Amino acid sequence: MKAVRPSDYFIGSRRNVSLVTNHPDSFKARKTLSVNGKDYVYFDLKEAEKNGLSGASRLPFSMKVILENLLRNEDGRTVSADDVRAVAKWLDDKGKAGHEIAYRPARVLMQDFTGVPAVVDLAAMRDASTALGADPKKINPMVPVDLVIDHSVMVDFFGQKDSFEKNVDAEYGRNGERYTFLRWGQEAFQNFRVVPPGTGICHQVNLEYLAQTVWTKEENGETIAYPDTLVGTDSHTTMVNGLSVLGWGVGGIEAEAAMLGQPISMMIPEVIGFRLEGKLPEGTTATDLVLTVTEMLRKKKVVGKFVEFFGPGLSNLTLEDQATIGNMAPEYGATCGFFPIDKDTLAYLEATGRDKDRIALVEAYAKAQGMFREDGTPDPVFTDTLEARPCERRSLARRPEAPAGPRCPDRRRGEVRGCARRDQGRPQEERDAAVHRRFPLHGRGRGAAERDAGDRAPFGGGQRSRLGRW
């Protein structure tokens, strides 16, 4: 079966739009970086530190991304020099000053649930422009937007060499009108691309193909380089944090606002540092680590805060595992779970077929900006920190209980044996009742009358629905 790549279908065009005019460059940070014979304009954090942003090099990596964003988008109105200074002062207030900033992500990621209505809104705006006598072609997203059609293909065919193609064809047949509209959208609008059904879920496509770690755009004959950032219409957009791309989930209205060039209003966040030591011992899995990290961060109460991972243990963690931890940010409540750029980032970009010049740019840019992590890199300053030592097998076993995750295997084995001993000699009805008490959705613990009543009721008599029979 031929591999399906998003590039086989992308036909939407990119139009680079400048959202900032007459840049004041208050901190004289605008510089040029040469990589493989090509020049890139960028806003140098080290130069800005020399020109008034004292201590910027000690900021967390995620806060450096925020600082660069404000430096680059300084316009004297939505972003002032005082806003930029407030980020540098983070070292003193640790994000507790409550200073509001205007943050502009590099791009927007949408899945079809919220993306299709956004295209409808753009089409409606074009109709309104025509009615008012304006040029409808001026209605376009102001930043790059990628709409991924995911979770749409059903399994009608299986066990055949051409099952995949048949299932995708069936999806187009069921929803042909919808895809005709989206096809029109990606041809009509600039800065808008559609990833077709059957390619993968939006987070997978984002991690493996769309994300670039360092983004570029052409403006006034120059190529500007800056960190890849995004907002997405799904809470698990944070999966791409594992590739050192700062992003998080937002609602459809916020995503549309960002798509139309409006900055996202946010408070300068607190950043919780999570230190990783050692490496996973034999017999443990990435799932053990992820569930342990999630449990620890839940107890730390990180809702509305950034979480950033640091420490020598990062060198022993694969990027796929980093992405899994980042993906769990909604589960531990943080805005994001960020990992800095390192050699594994570059290796992953190469393994997933990114352009060699792009990979070279990522390395050169990150090192020039002080955003590249190595084993000897000094630890940043954080609002607060906590630590996990994967080398301690027992600490990894203290994981959240069901349904968030299983307990330590040896404890679970003891519980099962204990239950078996207690059940010896007990009537079957009592055993069923005990199972039902521990697992309320399990249908076997109910009597026939209750089970029948549940099947007749719309929601099965309270919490016990037809799921009980499942």
Q: CA-to-CA distance for 18 and 29, rounded, in angstroms? A: 18
Position 287 scores a pLDDT of: 87
Nearest-CA neighbor of 278 among 243, 314, 330? 314
Nearest-CA neighbor of 407 among 397, 420, 417, 394? 397
- Domain with 457, as residue range(s), is 425-468
Q: Are residues 430 and 387 in the same domain?
A: no
Q: CA-to-CA distance for 333 and 353, rounded, in angstroms? A: 33
- The two structure tokens encoding residue 215: 């983004």
Q: Are residues 151 and 274 in the same domain?
A: yes
Q: Are residues 461 and 351 in the same domain?
A: no
Q: Are residues 443 and 304 in the same domain?
A: no
Position 48 scores a pLDDT of: 97
177 falls within a domain: yes
Q: Are residues 323 and 230 in the same domain?
A: yes
Position 81 scores a pLDDT of: 97
Q: Are residues 361 and 242 in the same domain?
A: yes
313 falls within a domain: yes
241 to 65, 101, 196, 283, 294: CA distances (angstroms): 12, 21, 24, 27, 15
Find residue 231's DSSP bridge partners: 108, 248
174 falls within a domain: yes
Residues of the chain predicted below pLDDT 50: 1-11, 393-394, 397-406, 409, 412, 441-470
251 falls within a domain: yes
- What DSSP letter does each residue of 22-61 carry, written as one string? S---TT--EEEEEETTEEEEEE-HHHHHHTT-TTGGGS-H
Amino acid making up residue 339: F
Residue with tokens 């980093």: 322
176 falls within a domain: yes
Judge contact between 126 and 41, C-beta under 8 A.
no
What's the distance, Cα to Cα, between the start and end of the chain in Å?
A: 35
433 to 144, 369, 415, 439, 446: CA distances (angstroms): 56, 63, 18, 10, 7
Nearest-CA neighbor of 319 among 297, 344, 296? 344
Q: Are residues 368 and 446 in the same domain?
A: no
Position 452 scores a pLDDT of: 41
Let me know the angle formed at the C-alpha of 118 by 114 and 123, rounded to the nearest 5 degrees.
150
**Of the residues 341, 367, 391, which one is the last residue of a structural domain?**
391
64 to 72, 339, 340, 458, 469: CA distances (angstroms): 12, 12, 10, 53, 52
412 falls within a domain: no
Task: Return the C-alpha torsion angle 209, 366, 79, 19, nearest 10.
Answer: -40
pTM for the whole structure? 0.81
Q: CA-to-CA distance for 197 and 152, rounded, in angstroms? A: 6
Position 343 scores a pLDDT of: 97
Q: CA-to-CA distance for 464 and 451, rounded, in angstroms? A: 9
Q: Are residues 151 and 272 in the same domain?
A: yes
Find residue 226's DSSP bridge partners: 215
264 falls within a domain: yes
Position 463 scores a pLDDT of: 35
Position 98 scores a pLDDT of: 93
Q: Are residues 369 and 433 in the same domain?
A: no
Let me know the angle formed at the C-alpha of 347 by 45 and 285, rounded to the nearest 5 degrees.
110
Q: Are residues 238 and 330 in the same domain?
A: yes
Position 433 scores a pLDDT of: 73
Q: Are residues 156 and 208 in the same domain?
A: yes
Preceding amide of 458 cis, omega within 30: no
Collapse the DSSP code of 98 into the 3-class scheme (helix H, G, I; strand E, B; otherwise coil) and give the result: coil
Q: Are residues 356 and 435 in the same domain?
A: no
58 falls within a domain: no
Look at the chain and report how many structural domains it folds into: 2
